[in-house]
Structure 1
Protein backbone atom coordinates (compact mmCIF):
# COMPACT_ATOMS: atom_id res chain seq x y z
CA UNK A 1 0.00 0.00 0.00
CA UNK A 2 1.29 3.46 -0.91
CA UNK A 3 1.58 5.92 1.94
CA UNK A 4 -0.90 8.77 2.00
CA UNK A 5 0.88 11.99 1.01
CA UNK A 6 0.76 14.76 3.59
CA UNK A 7 -1.27 17.86 2.84
CA UNK A 8 2.00 19.81 2.55
CA UNK A 9 3.36 17.33 0.02
CA UNK A 10 0.15 17.63 -2.03
CA UNK A 11 0.41 21.43 -1.84
CA UNK A 12 4.04 21.44 -2.99
CA UNK A 13 3.30 19.15 -5.95
CA UNK A 14 0.26 21.22 -6.98
CA UNK A 15 2.29 24.41 -6.76
CA UNK A 16 4.90 22.89 -9.07
CA UNK A 17 2.28 21.72 -11.56
CA UNK A 18 0.62 25.13 -11.71
CA UNK A 19 3.96 26.95 -12.01
CA UNK A 20 5.16 24.71 -14.86
CA UNK A 21 1.98 24.86 -16.90
CA UNK A 22 1.40 28.60 -16.43
CA UNK A 23 5.14 29.31 -16.70
CA UNK A 24 5.27 31.42 -13.55
CA UNK A 25 7.83 31.23 -10.73
CA UNK A 26 6.80 28.83 -7.95
CA UNK A 27 7.59 31.48 -5.35
CA UNK A 28 4.91 33.71 -6.88
CA UNK A 29 2.22 31.17 -5.95
CA UNK A 30 0.99 31.08 -2.37
CA UNK A 31 -1.63 29.16 -0.42
CA UNK A 32 -4.03 32.06 -1.03
CA UNK A 33 -3.25 32.49 -4.74
CA UNK A 34 -6.36 32.24 -6.89
CA UNK A 35 -5.48 30.18 -9.96
CA UNK A 36 -7.82 32.26 -12.13
CA UNK A 37 -5.93 35.43 -11.13
CA UNK A 38 -2.48 34.18 -12.11
CA UNK A 39 -0.96 35.39 -15.36
CA UNK A 40 -1.50 33.56 -18.63
CA UNK A 41 -4.51 31.57 -17.37
CA UNK A 42 -6.68 30.15 -20.15
CA UNK A 43 -9.31 27.42 -20.05
CA UNK A 44 -7.06 25.00 -21.92
CA UNK A 45 -4.30 25.50 -19.38
CA UNK A 46 -6.73 24.86 -16.53
CA UNK A 47 -7.69 21.59 -18.22
CA UNK A 48 -4.00 20.69 -18.58
CA UNK A 49 -3.50 21.43 -14.87
CA UNK A 50 -6.48 19.23 -13.98
CA UNK A 51 -5.21 16.40 -16.19
CA UNK A 52 -1.73 16.56 -14.68
CA UNK A 53 -3.19 16.53 -11.15
CA UNK A 54 -5.29 13.46 -11.99
CA UNK A 55 -2.33 11.55 -13.46
CA UNK A 56 0.03 12.54 -10.66
CA UNK A 57 -2.28 11.58 -7.79
CA UNK A 58 -4.35 8.83 -9.47
CA UNK A 59 -7.65 10.58 -8.73
CA UNK A 60 -10.61 11.86 -10.68
CA UNK A 61 -10.84 15.59 -10.17
CA UNK A 62 -14.02 17.49 -10.90
CA UNK A 63 -12.83 19.91 -13.61
CA UNK A 64 -15.00 22.60 -12.05
CA UNK A 65 -12.78 22.57 -8.99
CA UNK A 66 -10.24 24.72 -10.82
CA UNK A 67 -12.85 27.03 -12.29
CA UNK A 68 -14.99 27.57 -9.19
CA UNK A 69 -12.49 27.02 -6.40
CA UNK A 70 -10.64 30.06 -5.28
CA UNK A 71 -7.20 29.44 -3.96
CA UNK A 72 -4.42 26.92 -4.30
CA UNK A 73 -5.14 26.04 -0.67
CA UNK A 74 -8.74 25.14 -1.57
CA UNK A 75 -7.58 22.95 -4.44
CA UNK A 76 -4.98 21.35 -2.17
CA UNK A 77 -7.70 20.49 0.35
CA UNK A 78 -9.84 18.89 -2.37
CA UNK A 79 -6.98 16.85 -3.86
CA UNK A 80 -5.88 15.77 -0.38
CA UNK A 81 -9.45 14.68 0.42
CA UNK A 82 -9.70 12.71 -2.84
CA UNK A 83 -6.35 11.02 -2.20
CA UNK A 84 -7.51 9.92 1.26
CA UNK A 85 -10.79 8.69 -0.20
CA UNK A 86 -8.98 6.67 -2.89
CA UNK A 87 -6.69 5.11 -0.29
CA UNK A 88 -9.62 4.17 1.97
CA UNK A 89 -11.48 2.60 -0.96
CA UNK A 90 -8.39 0.62 -1.96
CA UNK A 91 -7.90 -0.72 1.59
Structure 2
Protein backbone atom coordinates (compact mmCIF):
# COMPACT_ATOMS: atom_id res chain seq x y z
CA UNK A 1 0.00 0.00 0.00
CA UNK A 2 1.34 3.47 -0.84
CA UNK A 3 0.31 5.09 2.44
CA UNK A 4 2.14 8.25 3.43
CA UNK A 5 1.85 7.93 7.19
CA UNK A 6 5.62 8.33 7.57
CA UNK A 7 5.87 11.56 5.57
CA UNK A 8 4.49 15.07 5.93
CA UNK A 9 0.99 15.42 4.53
CA UNK A 10 0.82 17.50 1.35
CA UNK A 11 -2.58 19.12 0.82
CA UNK A 12 -1.70 20.03 -2.77
CA UNK A 13 -0.96 16.39 -3.54
CA UNK A 14 -4.40 15.49 -2.17
CA UNK A 15 -5.94 18.27 -4.27
CA UNK A 16 -4.29 16.70 -7.34
CA UNK A 17 -5.60 13.23 -6.42
CA UNK A 18 -9.14 14.62 -6.10
CA UNK A 19 -8.86 16.67 -9.31
CA UNK A 20 -7.70 13.61 -11.24
CA UNK A 21 -10.66 11.58 -9.94
CA UNK A 22 -12.98 14.40 -10.98
CA UNK A 23 -11.21 14.85 -14.32
CA UNK A 24 -10.98 18.58 -13.60
CA UNK A 25 -8.14 21.09 -13.57
CA UNK A 26 -6.61 21.19 -10.11
CA UNK A 27 -7.44 24.92 -9.87
CA UNK A 28 -11.15 24.07 -9.73
CA UNK A 29 -10.72 22.01 -6.57
CA UNK A 30 -10.58 24.94 -4.19
CA UNK A 31 -10.80 24.59 -0.42
CA UNK A 32 -14.38 25.82 -0.39
CA UNK A 33 -15.65 24.23 -3.61
CA UNK A 34 -18.70 22.20 -2.66
CA UNK A 35 -18.54 18.67 -4.00
CA UNK A 36 -22.16 18.30 -5.07
CA UNK A 37 -23.08 21.86 -5.99
CA UNK A 38 -19.83 23.18 -7.50
CA UNK A 39 -17.95 20.07 -8.68
CA UNK A 40 -20.98 17.89 -9.54
CA UNK A 41 -19.74 14.92 -7.51
CA UNK A 42 -22.15 11.99 -7.58
CA UNK A 43 -21.97 8.66 -5.74
CA UNK A 44 -19.79 7.03 -8.40
CA UNK A 45 -17.27 9.86 -8.30
CA UNK A 46 -17.36 9.81 -4.49
CA UNK A 47 -16.41 6.14 -4.64
CA UNK A 48 -13.55 6.90 -7.04
CA UNK A 49 -12.21 9.62 -4.72
CA UNK A 50 -12.51 7.34 -1.70
CA UNK A 51 -10.60 4.55 -3.47
CA UNK A 52 -7.83 6.89 -4.61
CA UNK A 53 -7.48 8.41 -1.13
CA UNK A 54 -7.26 4.98 0.46
CA UNK A 55 -4.68 3.81 -2.09
CA UNK A 56 -2.55 6.93 -1.70
CA UNK A 57 -2.82 7.62 2.04
CA UNK A 58 -4.12 4.42 3.59
CA UNK A 59 -7.10 6.33 4.99
CA UNK A 60 -10.50 4.77 4.43
CA UNK A 61 -13.39 7.18 3.89
CA UNK A 62 -16.85 5.82 3.21
CA UNK A 63 -18.04 7.34 -0.05
CA UNK A 64 -21.37 8.37 1.50
CA UNK A 65 -19.49 10.21 4.23
CA UNK A 66 -17.33 11.87 1.60
CA UNK A 67 -20.40 13.25 -0.15
CA UNK A 68 -21.78 14.52 3.17
CA UNK A 69 -18.54 16.33 4.02
CA UNK A 70 -19.27 18.86 1.35
CA UNK A 71 -15.90 20.44 0.52
CA UNK A 72 -12.28 19.69 -0.18
CA UNK A 73 -11.27 21.52 3.01
CA UNK A 74 -13.29 19.14 5.18
CA UNK A 75 -11.88 16.07 3.44
CA UNK A 76 -8.36 17.46 3.80
CA UNK A 77 -8.89 18.09 7.52
CA UNK A 78 -10.24 14.55 8.02
CA UNK A 79 -7.28 12.96 6.25
CA UNK A 80 -4.78 15.13 8.15
CA UNK A 81 -6.41 14.13 11.44
CA UNK A 82 -6.39 10.44 10.49
CA UNK A 83 -2.73 10.56 9.45
CA UNK A 84 -1.73 12.44 12.58
CA UNK A 85 -3.61 9.94 14.72
CA UNK A 86 -2.06 7.01 12.87
CA UNK A 87 1.46 8.38 13.25
CA UNK A 88 0.94 9.06 16.95
CA UNK A 89 0.38 5.37 17.71
For structure 1, list consecutive stretches of 5 or more residues without a partner in the other structure: none
TM-score where L is the length of structure 2: 0.81
Q: How many residues align?
A: 84
2:80 is the alignment partner of 1:80: yes
Q: Compare 43-52 and 62-71 and name the one that shifted more.
A: 62-71
More helix by share: 1
State the alpha-carbon separation in 1 of the partners of residues 85 and 62 from structure 2.
14
Q: What's the C-alpha RMSD, in Å, of the aligned pairs?
A: 1.7
* Counterpart for residue 49 of structure 1: 49
